[in-house]
Amino acid sequence: MIDNLIKFFILNGVFLFLTFGYLYMARRSDHTREELRQLILETMIAHLKTAPYQSLSIRQLSAQVGYVPSSILNVFGSYQLCWLEVCARVLDELYMVCEQALRETKCSVSQAGQNKVLAVATAYYDFAQQKPYFWKLVFDLRLAEGDTMPDWQSQRIEKLFRLLQGELNQLKPSATQAELADTSRALWASVHGITQITLEDKLFSAGAPGDVLINQIISHFLASWQQK
């Protein structure tokens, strides 16, 4: 009899704890909408420091920020759009890193163009090595059906391409804007491919590391491109 009473109180205690805990979380209004947005984004960013975005479900995020999933969706529209805003922050940081590398590269006038292109490519590669889960988010994230890529996301990616176009123009003043745009994309694609297979350890050999391969491919590419 006593054992049954103890079990009864324990089970009811757990039930009440979970019930009131859920109600508290459901009714929370400790933050303004903008404060809640920042709290959610900061929590997601903290997760990416040690794990991929796919390993954080919306329920796990909900538990960490102390708000029910519907509150999160009310702020962003969908869970994928939450991650898209994190992508924007990652791209902003990546742009700043590449721009700084470009600005800090010091070399002779004759080597300036090629060395600056190499500096940007190396900065891109190093960023991915140092923050792999941030980098992978940008390229692994798939929007849910019905969601559309906002203009501000496309504009951030375009800014990265434009970083190289100015330096390419210095190397080949006769190049048209269309040629510069296509060449910058070809270079980014090459650097991105080497970065990705290096991160995923798919070079399948003990040869030169990724940054050396990037140096080689850009040097050969630019030498050939300038002669055309």
CATH number at residue 50: 1.10.10
In this structure, the answer to whether residues 154 and 189 fall within a common structural domain is yes
Q: 66 near 28, Cβ under 8 Å? A: yes
The residue assigned the tokens 């399948």 is: 204
Residues 187 and 106 in one domain: yes
| Shared domain check, 117 and 139 | yes
Let me know whether 25 and 44 are in one domain.
no
Mark whether 9 and 51 lie in a shared domain: no
Count how many domains the chain has.
Answer: 3
For residues 202 and 90, membership in a common domain is answered with yes
What confidence score (pLDDT) does residue 59 get?
96
List per-block mean pLDDT (blocks of 10 residues) for the chain, which spans 228 residues. 48 42 49 89 97 96 94 92 94 95 76 85 96 95 79 88 89 92 93 93 77 92 87
What is the domain range of residue 4? 1-29
User: Angle, nearest 10°, between helix axes 177-199 and 210-227?
Assistant: 160
The reply to whether 39 and 97 lie within a common domain is: no
* Direct distance between the N- and C-terminal alpha carbons of the chain, in angstroms, rounded to an integer: 93
Are 128 and 48 within one domain?
no
DSSP annotation of 49: T
**Dihedral sign of CA atoms 197, 198, 202, 204 in order:** positive
Q: What is the CATH number of the domain that holds 173?
A: 1.10.357.10
26 within 8 A of 68, measured Cβ to Cβ: yes
- Tell me if 127 sits within 8 A of 195, measured CB to CB: no
Q: State residue 154's pLDDT score.
A: 85
Residues 173 and 203 in one domain: yes
Report how far residue 21's alpha carbon sits from residue 15's, in angstroms, rounded to the nearest whole number: 10
